[in-house]
Amino acid sequence: MSSPRSRFADIEYDPPIEVFQLTENYKKDTFDKKVNLGVGAYRDENGKPWVLPVVRKVEAQLATDLTLDHEYLAVAGLEEFCIASTKLALGEDSPALTENRGVGVQCLSGTGSLRLAAEFLRRAGFDTVYVSDPTWGNHLGIFRDAHFPNIRKYAYWDAEKRAIMFDRLISDLKGAPPNSVAILHAAAHNPTGSDPTQEQWAAIADVCEERQIFPLFDSAYQGFSTGDLDLDAWAPRYFVRRGFELFVCQSYAKNFGLYNERIGNLAVVTRDADSNARIRSKMRTIIRQMWSNPPAHGARIVATILNNAALFNEWKEHVRTMASRIRSMRELLYQKLKGLGTPGSWEHIITQTGMFSYTGLNTKQSEFLVRDLHIYIMRDGRINMCGITPSNVDYVAQGIHEAVNKVDSKV
């Protein structure tokens, strides 16, 4: 007698998640010159993960602290973490903090912060969200799963000029209906690596004010753009000074290297303390239904470092080190491509900032790199600059040179 057919037999496979599948394929590859430029994680000059020394130090301290336990945190998170994290986003002298209008809620890294923001905003009556074109791939799925009926794109990247198409960006936001949400990348735009200037941010704020758009800042790379934590937070802080109510979704995966600890914060800025209290109460209810309680270990690491002047300064130096290495690899790759005489303009590699470069390589050229040369990059041509090292940059540059010359650039 045959066993009954599973009730799930008709469930279809979802396509693999590209960036993680790319890494799996890279790990299985036995080619000795293989290069992984896909996954969004920092790598040192030897292509290895870097656990920040200050993180190691604090972990050792926590491991010997016998007063710590594994009891639940408050649903909204470790209070000293939330306070310190919100200060990092908004600045210690922020009017939102001095007037008690800013508050934080611990979340599961940047993704959890965005998911909580999306769920809250949808329940609060918002139904339209604008994302940059292109944007981080998960933005669309997060707001779709929060049941936003209208997910729209605003122009951002000019593929021909390899720069922000600012006039069209402004035009698209001017067409947004009132009470739309706009996801704005605080610094080191993913995937393009191109950020608005301060003057352009002011113009974006003008449109948001005129159209009553709610700004939702995604701050996953604070410190990675310029190496300066304050400069990389300029945009959300400027909007706060302009009097906006807004959210800032923070992640400590990149700038603390705490990728698998899932530590993030949702900084909430409103017009009064009472609104903050009501919002936080609603968010606690949502959290209880989604992940119930946040993780303590990573929150304790971040809180300890942010609240200790000596440790904080040590961490800032680590952030500068990471940002500096990324900038040096941008310059090195640019010079190698220039030296090879690779067709096209490659100045965008050094004018872009942060972890990623939007190379301008098309899908066919990217697939050629992966298939023929074992250089693993995203199909849209995005590369993680941290994956480039002094020992592999010649191979990567030669690979890009071959892709440009051998594969149709018009595909």
Catalytic residue among 172, 195, 218, 232: 218
Tokens of 124: 């609060």
User: What does the alpha-carbon distance between residue 329 and residue 383 come to, in Å, rounded to a whole number?
Assistant: 12
Catalytic residue among 136, 234, 315, 346: 136
Q: Is 364 a catalytic residue?
A: no
Alpha helices for 291-376 (secondary structure H): 297-306, 309-340, 348-351, 363-373
User: What does the alpha-carbon distance between residue 376 and residue 391 come to, in Å, rounded to a whole number?
Assistant: 16
Per-residue pLDDT at 62 exceeds 60: yes
Q: What is the pTM of this model?
A: 0.95
- For 98-122, the pLDDT digits (tens) are 999 999 999 999 999 999 999 999 9
- For 120-147, the pLDDT digits (tens) are 999 999 999 999 999 999 999 999 999 9
- For 327-367, the pLDDT digits (tens) are 999 999 999 999 999 999 999 999 999 999 999 999 999 99
- Nearest Cα neighbor of 360 from 191, 206, 244, 184 is 191
Q: Is 27 a catalytic residue?
A: no
Beta strands in 113-213 (DSSP E): 128-133, 150-155, 157-158, 163-164, 181-185
Beta strands in 96-170 (DSSP E): 102-107, 128-133, 150-155, 157-158, 163-164
Catalytic residue among 34, 87, 254, 336: 254
Q: Is 93 a catalytic residue?
A: no
Q: Are 248 and 266 in contact (CB under 8 A)?
A: yes
